[in-house]
Amino acid sequence: MKVFIELGWFFKQEKKAYISGILILLFVAILQLVPPKVIGIIADHINNGSITKTMLVEWVFVLIASGLVMYILRYYWRIMIFGSSVKLSRILRDRLYHHFTTLSPSFYQKSRIGDLMAHATNDLSAIQQTAGSGVLTLVDSLSTGGFVILAMAFTISWKLTLICLIPMPFMALLTSWFGTMLHKSFHKAQESFSSLNDKTQESISGIKVIKTFGQEQEDIEDFRKQSEDVVRKNIVVAKIDSLYDPTISIIVGISFFLSIAFGAKYVLNGELTIGELISFTTYLGLLIWPMLAFGWLFNIVERGRASYDRVATLLREQVEVTDDAQALDVVPTGDIQYRIREFTYPGETRPILKNIAFDLRAGETLGIVGKTGSGKTTLLKLLIREFEGFKGELLYGGKPIHAYKLEKLRQAIGYVPQDHFLFSATIAENIAFANPMASKEEIESAASLANIHEDILQFTEGYQTIVGERGVSLSGGQKQRISIARALLMNPEVLVLDDSLSAVDAKTEEAILTSLRQNREGKTTIITSHRLSAIQHANLILVLEDGSIIEQGTHEDLMSNEGWYKEMYLHQQLEELVEHGGQ
Ligand code: ADP
What percent of the chain has a predicted confidence (pLDDT) above 90?
A: 39
Extract the runs of DSSP E, i.e. beta strands, from 406-457: 413-416
Can you state the percent helix, strand and coil of the chain, rounding each to 5?
65, 10, 25
- Asked whether the predicted pLDDT for residue 105 surpasses 80, the reply is no
Which residue's C-alpha comes closest to atom 19 of ligand 1?
Answer: 378
Atom of ligand 1 lying closest to residue 374 CA: 3
CA of 379, closest atom in ligand 1: 6
Strands 365-370 and 540-545: parallel
Residue 79: CB atoms within 10 A of its CB come to 13
pLDDT at 3: 86
- The torsion of the CA quartet 498, 499, 501, 507, rounded to 10 degrees, works out to 120
Give the torsion through C-alpha atoms of 340, 344, 350, 352, to 10 deg.
-50
| Residue 373 CB less than 6 A away from ligand 1 | yes
Tell the residue nearest (CA) to atom 24 of ligand 1: 345
Predicted local confidence at residue 315, as pLDDT: 87
Average of per-residue pLDDT across 399-408 = 86
**Choice between 452 and 578, residue whose per-residue pLDDT is larger:** 452
The answer, yes or no, to whether any atom of ligand 1 lies below 6 A from the CB of 104, is: no
Report the range of poorest mean pLDDT among 12-16, 106-110, 249-253, 420-424.
106-110
Does pTM top 0.75 for this prediction? no
Beta strand pairing call for 494-498 and 413-416: parallel
Per-residue pLDDT averaged across 304-331, rounded? 81
Q: How far is the CA of 376 from the centre of ligand 1 (A)?
A: 8
Amino acid at 152: M
Please compute, for residue 205, the number of CA atoms within 13 A of its CA located in the half-sphere on the CB side.
Answer: 9
Confidence band for 24, pLDDT divided at 50, 70 and 90 = very high
Query: Is residue 161 lining ligand 1, measured as CB closer than 6 Å?
Result: no
* pLDDT for the residue 65: 95
How remote is the CA of residue 375 from the centroid of ligand 1, in Å? Answer: 6
Q: Is residue 471 predicted with pLDDT exceeding 70? A: no
Question: What is the layout of strands, in order, in the sheet containing 413-416?
Answer: 413-416, 494-498, 524-528, 365-370, 540-545, 548-553
Residue 76 pLDDT: 92
pLDDT of residue 101: 84
Q: Is 374 in the pocket of ligand 1 (CB under 6 A)?
A: yes
The rounded distance, in Å, linking the Cα atoms of 77 and 75 is 6
Which of 371, 378, 496 to mutate for ligand 1's pocket (most ligand atoms within 8 Å of CB)? Answer: 378
| Residue 296 to residue 137: CA distance in whole angstroms | 8
H or E stretch including 542?
strand 540-545
376 lines ligand 1 (CB under 6 A): yes
Mean pLDDT along residues 49-69: 92
377 lines ligand 1 (CB under 6 A): yes
User: Is the model's pLDDT at 583 over the cut of 60?
Assistant: no
CB 349 near ligand 1, within 6 Å = no
**Rounded Cα distance, 26 and 20, in Å:** 10
CA of 409 to the centre of ligand 1 (A): 23
Q: Are 130 and 304 in contact, with CB atoms under 8 Å apart? A: yes
Could you tell me the distance, in angstroms and rounded to a whole number, from the CA of residue 377 to the centre of ligand 1?
A: 7
What percent of the chain clears pLDDT 70, i.e. is strictly above it?
99
Mutate which of 371, 377, 381 to test ligand 1's pocket (most atoms within 8 Å of Cβ)?
Answer: 377
- The answer to whether the beta carbons of residues 446 and 512 sit under 8 Å apart is no
Computed over every residue of the chain, the mean pLDDT equals: 88
* Closest Cα to atom 26 of ligand 1: 345
| CB of 431 closer than 6 angstroms to any ligand 1 atom | no
Q: What are phi and psi of 507, to 5 degrees?
A: -70, -45
Pocket test of ligand 1: the residue of 320, 352, 415 to mutate, having most ligand atoms within 8 Å of its CB, is 352
For the segment 67-96, the average pLDDT, to the nearest whole number, is 91
Cβ 372 under 6 angstroms from ligand 1: yes
Predicted local distance difference test score (pLDDT) of residue 470: 63
Alpha-carbon distance of 574 to 571, in angstroms, equals: 5
Q: Which neighbouring-strand residues pair with 548?
A: 545
Picking from 132-136, 270-274, 519-523, which range would have the lowest pLDDT averaged per residue? 519-523
Closest-lying ligand 1 atom to the alpha carbon of residue 528? 2
> What are the C-alpha distances in Å from 29 to residues 55, 136, 164?
26, 12, 20
Rounded to the nearest angstrom, the distance between the alpha carbon of 378 and the centre of ligand 1 is 6
Residue 97 burial (C-beta neighbours within 10 Å; 0-12, 13-18, 19+):
exposed
Whether residue 351 has its Cβ less than 6 Å from ligand 1: no
CA distance to 11, 191, 254, 367, per residue, from 530 (Å): 59, 43, 82, 10
How does pLDDT run across 228-282, given as a tens digit for each residue?
999 999 999 999 888 887 887 888 889 999 999 999 999 999 999 999 999 999 9
CB atoms within 10 A of CB 392: 15
Length of the chain: 583
From the CA of 417, how far away is ligand 1's center (Å)? 13
131: pLDDT confidence band, cut at 50, 70 and 90?
Answer: very high
Where is average pLDDT lowest: 153-157, 174-178, 268-272, 444-448?
174-178
Q: Does the pLDDT of residue 318 top 60, yes or no?
A: yes
539 lines ligand 1 (CB under 6 A): no
| pLDDT computed for residue 187 by the predictor | 82
